[in-house]
Each structure stands twice: as structure tokens, then as C-alpha cells.
Structure 1
Amino acid sequence: MDNLRKGFPVLEQYTYLNTAASGLLPEKVWEFRQDHDMDFLIEASLLKEKMGEVLTGVRESVGDFFHCAPNRVALIPNFSYGFNSVLESLDKPTKALLIKNDYPSINWPVESRDFEVVYAEMDETFETNIIEEIEKEKPYFFAFSIVQYINGVKLSVDFLKKLKEQFPDLILIADGTQYFGTEEFNFDESGIDIAISSCYKWMNAGYGNGFMLFNESVQGKLSPKHLGFGSLQGKYKAHEGNFIGKFEPGHYDTLNFGSLKVAIELINKIGMRTIQDKIEVLKKIARDRFAEAGLLEDWTLGRDDFSPLFNIKGDENLFNQLRSEGIITSQRGDGIRVSMHYFNSEKDLNHLFRILKI
């Protein structure tokens, strides 16, 4: 499996356990970006005349990868842009359910608008808390991270599917930025109404690209207001009033979105199942060792479905020690966030364990 490390030069210098902060740029994506900008240098507007064709290819690639029809895929520069666009598309005032201490780019935009906001606590009865809040408060939408950015706690797709079956009128808006690229995902079977993601983390597509996936039934519940020349450009956006076009009002950067298509092609070449299996092995090794050493919150250990993102007990001194040893992590919350992707190895984990003395 060492060949999975090829194409990521940074791994020759560091033990990189920080995909949850920033994914690595694969050489294949870098090569595309070099070629693209050379073409732009030489061709200028002649290259940009192909923008609609390029974006159509990206849209179809995203749709195929996540099992969502391309006419229900919107391309966006990042999660926050897409999420704020959705919030502006909802009738207000209405009631929203959030997770307490979820990612600020989810909670802050909702809290800053004229929504009535209620919260579900994240603890040992996490899923039960969500269901009880829905039953009691009857929110119009529930916005949440599939994987929590601080501690990696994950809401399983099975749970979300059952949640939608139990509350069919509730709009589920999911942030997949810390999830997409870690395991196989079928949007149309997930129960999620709107999935939004940046792609610079686990998708390894670089910055400036993301996507939105829409369930067919939710489109009648949104009134997107953005409109511009880009709203009508390309396949699937043929006429004014087109739904996904109202999330794509301007000229788009073919460099950034083309990078996403190349990143998906690389994932497909490796195989999403191969990636998922590698992550499964690494995250189980990590959790077992962290748990044995008492480095994780006790309540998280009873969860069967968990992500490759952990928050271990540690202060700034430990963080700096890890960095001095070439181990790249992040400080989040009260601890140190460690995350592992398919290009990591047991050797990387053993390096970490050795410094942690566990």
C-alpha cells in the first residue's frame, strides 16, 4: 500500500496527520494546474470560451461520483458561499435546529439571521438528543456537519436516512467537508436534502472549489435569488429561472474547478473502496491506542461508526513538540486534532505513538 503515498512530496518531509485542516495537493492535480495556466497564458480568451464545456464535465464528474444527477449539482467556490446562498433562499422567519458547538461556518450564518434557533447537545446520547429536539421543537430545517470538526464524532448515513424517514418534511442540510472523500457515499440514498462541501480537505482538490447536491423534492422549498451571466452558461442551465444556475451567478475559475475533476479522477483510479479500507485500518489502530492511553473523551468510545479524525488530550507544549518532530497536527478545542488519510501509513502512526509515549 506504500504506492498510495506516491505523488505527495510533502510526505517525504513530514508525518502529515492534518488532512482535517488542509488536504494535500496531489502531483496529478498540480500538473493539471501547471498545464492549465500555460494554456491560459498562450490562449487567453480562447481557453475561457470553453468554460461552459469544462464546468459541465466537472458537474457530471461530481454527480457521477456522489450518485446525484448532474442537473442537481451546483458548483461553488466553498462551503460557506453555498450554505449562505441556501439560507438566503429560505423563507424567514422559521425555526432551525443546530448542533451545539458545531463548525462556526454552519452555526454563525444561521444565528446571524432571523431564524428561531434551537440546539441539540453533542454527548453520549447524541442521536437521541437530535430526535427529541425535532419532536419537541418541530424545526423547518436541520443544518449539521456529518463529521464534527473538533472531535471527529460522526453522524452515520444510516441514522440520517432513518431520520428522514421519521421526519420526511424536515429539510436536512449537511456539511460534508470533513466527510466526503473518506468513504463511499450515495447521495440519492442518503436521506439528505442538501449536501454542501468544500473540497480542499479529504478530496485533495485544492482551494477554491466545492459543490452542492440537491434532492429533487427540496427544490420547490427554496427560492434562490442570485442571478448573473454565469447562471445561464453551459449545459443544465439553459434558461432563466434555472435552479442550479441561481447558485452559479458569475464567471467561474476553470483552474480551480478543473482541479476538482482531476482530483476525482485520481480517487477513481485508486478506488474509493481501497481508500475507505485503508482509512478503516488506520483509524481503528489510532483509536485503540488513543483509548488505551486515556487520550480521548470517554463518551466517544462507545460509538461504532467513527471518522479518521480525533482530538487527543494535549497542550501547546505537546503540540509544539510534535511539530518539532515533523508531525503536523492542529490545535482545536481543548486538545490536539489528529487526522489520517489513505496516503498515511502505520509508520506515521508509530512515529506519533513514540512521541506520545503510548
Structure 2
Amino acid sequence: MTSFKKYFPITKQCIYFNSPSSGLLPAPVLEYRQEHDLDFFVMGSAIKDGRGELLTNVREKVGALFSCAPNRVALVPNFSYGFNTLLEGIDTPKKVLLLEEDYPSVNWPFETRDFEIAYAQINGHLEKNVEAAFAKAQPDIFAFSVVQYINGIKINLDFLKKLKTKYPETLFFADATQYIGTEPFDFDNSGIDVLGGSCYKWMNAGYGNGIFLFKEEVAQKVAPKTTGFNSQYGKYKQQEGSFIGRFEPGHQDTLNYGSLGVAIDIINEIGIDTIHDRIQSLSAKAKTAFIEKGLLEEAVAMRTQHSSIFNLKGDQALVKQLEEKGIVCMIRGEGVRVGFQYFNTEEDLETLLSAL
């Protein structure tokens, strides 16, 4: 089996299971960043000459990877920035359905604004809980994380598509920070209206870059108020009006978005299907082993589909014990969180199981 540790030299020194907290910086991305800043150092303002082409190219790479037209792709510094921009464009009050104890950057922006909020519980019956909450609350907006950051519970995407068919007027907003980069995803064929995510985790693109994808009809229902000179700058903004520009009001950072472009090149070189197969295979073996050791909560153990993130029964003493064996992970919630990326191997898993 091909080893992809070559992209990540740190994996020669440790076993890295902390992608849910921060992805690693691949060597080609580091090389790009060094060359970019050297060019800036010696060229000054002349570096801006290629900005438009670079940003257009990155937008097109994002669109191709996730099956979304590039004129509906916004490049943002991070998920929270883009999400708050989105919510500022929604007239309140609106009825919103959230998930209990979802990622704060999903729930807090609604809870601090004038929305009428209902909640569905995150457990082994997540989809049934959401369906029941829809029937009761009849929400205008459903906002959720595709993959839960604490225990890795992943909402069923086929369920979302059917639910959207049943409630076509409800806007579905998804945080995909813990999802994008782990498997193929066809945005235009999904039940999601707006998908956003920071790209420093599973995309391995470094900090300072994120994406938002929009269905065409969203621009008719949301009117962001942010604006600036750069909101009209660029090929797709000029052609399609200012909706995407509302999410990009100022000068775009070619260092960070260029890093995203290189990260996508690596994903394309490896193949998103290959990445998915490796993550899925390793995660399935890990789940079976974790269940046998009694390390998983029932809500996760009973799920037929799961992500690459697991929360193991343990405490800070266990984290320290694992660190002493060169295993990088962290406390999240009430346990020890680990995540399996495509550069991880069965040998890595065996070392973890032995340490546990």
C-alpha cells in the first residue's frame, strides 16, 4: 500500500491522530508559502499582478472538487467569518432548528441573534430526532455540522436529501469543517443549500482559508450586508453580480488561498476516492476494535455509518500515556478524541490499540 507520510515529515516522528483539531501542513504547501513570500519580498506590489488569475484558479479547483459552479464558490478566511456574514443577510425572526451541543460556531451565531430556536438531540437516532423536530417546529432554517466534532457522529447525507425534498422551502446550512476532504461530495446533487468549512483540518491547507458553496436560489433568499471595493473584483463577481462578493469584500490573501489551491492539487494527485477508501477502511477497523475494548459510547457504537473521528473513554492521564508513546491526540468533551487521516496506517492503529 502506498504511503503518503512523505507529504508530512512530522509523521516520521510521531503517530498523528489529531486531524480533528488541526490538519498537518503538507510539504508542497510549505514550499508554495515560502516561494510566495519570497516573491512578495523581492517584487513588492508587482505580486498583485497575478492575483486575479490565482483566485479564479482556486475557485475553479474548489468547484471541480465539490461539484459546484465556481461562480457559487466564496473564498473566506474561515467558517465562522462566512457563517456570520450569511446570517447577517437573513431577516429575523425566523424559525431555526439546531442540534443540541453542536459546534459553537454553528449554534452561537443563531443563539445571539433574534431567531426562534428549536433543538434536536444528537445520539444514535440522530436522523429520527431531526425528522421529528422538523414535523414539530416546521423550521425556516436547519443548521448543523455534517460530522460532530466531539464524537464523530455523521448525519446521513441521503437522509438530508430526502428531508430537503419533503421540506423544499427550508434552507439547509451545513458546517463541513470536519467533513470536506474525507470523501467525494457532490454539492449540487445534495440536499444542502449552503455548505461552509474551514480548510485547515482534513483539507490540510493551513490556516486562514475556508470555503462556502451556495445553491443558485440562496441569493434570492439571503442578502448579506457586508461590502467593500473588492466585492466586485474578479472574473466571477463581475459576471454574476455581488452575492459572492458580499463574502469577499476586501483584498483576498493570495498566500492562504494559494495554499488551498496547492492542497487541492495534492488531493487530486492522490485521488479523493483513494483518500476515502483509506480513511473508511482504517476507521471501520478502528471502530470494531474500540467496541471490543468497550471504549465507545453507545450512541456511536450503534451507528451503521460513522466518520473518521472517535471519542474514547479516558482522561488527561491517558492522553499523557499516549503522548509518551509518540501518539498525538487530545481531550475533547468527556474523552480522548482521535481521528484517522489518509496518511495513517494499520500499523499506526495497532500501536494505538496496544497503548490503550
TM-score by length of structure 2 reads: 0.98
- Map Cα deviations across residues 75-120 of structure 1 (whole Å, 9 max, x no partner): 1000000110111011111111100000011111110111111100
Query: Are the aligned partners of 1:232 and 1:240 in contact in 2 as well (CA < 8 Å)?
Result: no
Q: Hey, what's the Cα distance between the residues in 2 that align with 1:301 and 1:331?
A: 19
Aligned with 1:236: secondary structure? helix
Q: Which amino acid aligns with 2:167?
A: F
Query: Are the aligned partners of 2:71 and 2:240 in contact in 1 as well (CA < 8 Å)?
Result: no
Matches within 5 A, 1:38-57: 38-57=38-57
Name structure 1 gaps, 5 residues minimum. none
Q: Does 1:154 align with 2:154?
A: yes
Matches within 5 A, 1:232-311: 232-238=232-238, 242-311=242-311
Identity of aligned residues (%): 55
Aligned with 2:238: secondary structure? coil
* Structure 1 partner of 2:133: 133
Structure 1 vs Structure 2 CA RMSD: 1.1
Matches within 5 A, 1:1-358: 1-238=1-238, 242-356=242-356
Aligned with 2:237: secondary structure? coil
Q: Hey, what's the Cα distance between the residues in 2 that align with 1:122 and 1:343?
A: 29
Q: Which amino acid aligns with 1:183?
A: E
Q: Hey, what's the Cα distance between the residues in 1 that align with 2:124 and 2:77?
A: 35
Q: Hey, what's the Cα distance between the residues in 2 that align with 1:71 and 1:240?
A: 7
- Map Cα deviations across residues 124-177 of structure 1 (whole Å, 9 max, x no partner): 321111111111111110110000000000012111111111111110000000
Q: Hey, what's the Cα distance between the residues in 2 that align with 1:301 and 1:163?
A: 25
Moved over 3 A (4+): none
Query: Are the aligned partners of 2:141 and 2:173 in contact in 1 as well (CA < 8 Å)?
Result: yes
Count of matched residue positions in the alignment of Structure 1 and Structure 2: 356
Rate the CA distance shift 1:185–1:239 in 2: closer, same or farther, 3 A: closer
Query: Are the aligned partners of 1:146 and 1:179 in contact in 2 as well (CA < 8 Å)?
Result: yes
Q: Hey, what's the Cα distance between the residues in 2 that align with 1:299 and 1:176?
A: 21
Give the CA deviation at 1:326. 1.2
Q: Hey, what's the Cα distance between the residues in 1 that align with 2:239 and 2:246?
A: 11
Query: Are the aligned partners of 2:24 and 2:204 in contact in 1 as well (CA < 8 Å)?
Result: yes
Q: Which amino acid aligns with 1:206?
A: G
Name structure 2 gaps, 5 residues minimum. none
Give the CA deviation at 1:4. 1.5
Give the CA deviation at 1:302. 2.2
- Map Cα deviations across residues 15-72 of structure 1 (whole Å, 9 max, x no partner): 1001000001100111111111111111111111322221111111101110000110
Query: Are the aligned partners of 2:313 and 2:334 in contact in 1 as well (CA < 8 Å)?
Result: yes
Q: Hey, what's the Cα distance between the residues in 1 that align with 2:196 and 2:18?
A: 21
Q: Hey, what's the Cα distance between the residues in 1 that align with 2:208 and 2:256?
A: 6
Query: Are the aligned partners of 1:206 and 1:259 in contact in 2 as well (CA < 8 Å)?
Result: yes
Between 301-310 and 142-151, the greater mean CA deviation after superposition: 301-310
